[in-house]
């Protein structure tokens, strides 16, 4: 009888430990959006959640599974009806690794995706400073008043 209790207790411990480890290995990451510009950014994830990143500040986004992020930049304090810059980026979240799929796939088998950047990604820097981070750096000349 005592051996049965030990086996049953060990089995319960293994099930509990296994379920705890499997939830810890979920495919999502908390990453940063760095706004190093005078623009106001609106970041929309593929599930419809949006967030605003004010000029010269940083916000956090949770990337989970494969998906896309749409980023729109607006002039701060001006007419916010139309963005001056809009881009959409695809990302992957695999276990504890999240990254934006960037670049030309020419060397993908040898070096991985993202070796040759696309011109359409500017003025954004993707996967910098960490994989899965997004940085906007622009001077804001589009928002200057015209004389």
Q: Is residue 10 part of a domain?
A: no
Q: Say which CATH number the domain at 95 has.
A: 2.60.40
Q: pLDDT tens-digit profile of 126-147?
A: 888 888 888 988 877 777 665 5
Q: pLDDT tens-digit profile of 14-64?
A: 565 555 444 445 578 899 999 999 899 999 998 788 999 999 999 999 988
For residue 120, the model assigns a pLDDT of 61
For residue 32, the model assigns a pLDDT of 94
For residue 100, the model assigns a pLDDT of 85
Which residue range forms the structural domain that includes residue 82?
A: 27-141
Q: What is the mean pLDDT of the chain?
A: 76
Q: Is residue 16 part of a domain?
A: no
- Give strand pairing partners of 68: 90
Tell me the whole-structure pTM to 2 decimals: 0.70
Burial class (CB in 10 A: 0-12, 13-18, 19+), 36: middle
């Amino acid at each position: 009888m005592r051996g049965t209790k030990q086996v049953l207790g060990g089995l319960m411990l293994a099930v509990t430990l296994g379920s705890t480890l499997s939830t810890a290995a979920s495919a999502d990451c908390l990453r940063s959006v760095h706004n190093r510009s005078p623009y106001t950014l609106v970041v929309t994830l593929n599930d419809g959640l949006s967030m605003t990143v004010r000029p010269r500040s940083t916000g956090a986004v949770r990337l989970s599974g494969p998906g896309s992020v749409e980023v729109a930049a607006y002039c701060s304090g001006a007419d916010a009806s139309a963005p001056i810059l809009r881009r959409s980026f695809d990302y992957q979240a695999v276990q504890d690794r999240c990254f934006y799929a960037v670049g030309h796939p020419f060397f993908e088998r040898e070096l991985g995706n993202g070796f040759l950047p696309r011109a359409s990604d500017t003025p954004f820097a993707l996967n910098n400073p960490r994989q899965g981070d997004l940085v906007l750096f622009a001077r804001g000349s589009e928002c200057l008043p015209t004389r």
